[in-house]
Amino acid sequence: MTTSLSKFLKTTRPGPAHRCAGCNTFSLRTHTAPATQEDEVICTNPSCGESPLHREA
């Protein structure tokens, strides 16, 4: 993902109130893909392997 964090946060909304299956944190956001108009739940924890913001420590 090449989007800046501030732009990412502006284009998403708070996600479901449950923990991420990948990292067990409450860092989920919801994004609506423009092409499909379907909601996608995204983890914002950069340490989470399932997050599009993931980076190796």
Mean pLDDT by runs of 10 across the 57 residues of the chain is 70 92 94 85 91 77
Between CA 57 and CA 32 the distance in angstroms is 29
Q: Residue 32: beta bridge partners?
A: 39
**Number of domains into which the chain is organized:** 1
Question: Residue 24: its pLDDT value, please?
Answer: 96
Q: Decide if 21 contacts 50 (C-beta within 8 A).
A: yes
Helix H or strand E encompassing 21: none
Question: Residue 3: its pLDDT value, please?
Answer: 60
Between CA 29 and CA 18 the distance in angstroms is 11
Question: Residue 19: its pLDDT value, please?
Answer: 96
Question: Residue 57: its pLDDT value, please?
Answer: 58
Whole-structure pTM value = 0.72
Domain that holds residue 4: 1-57
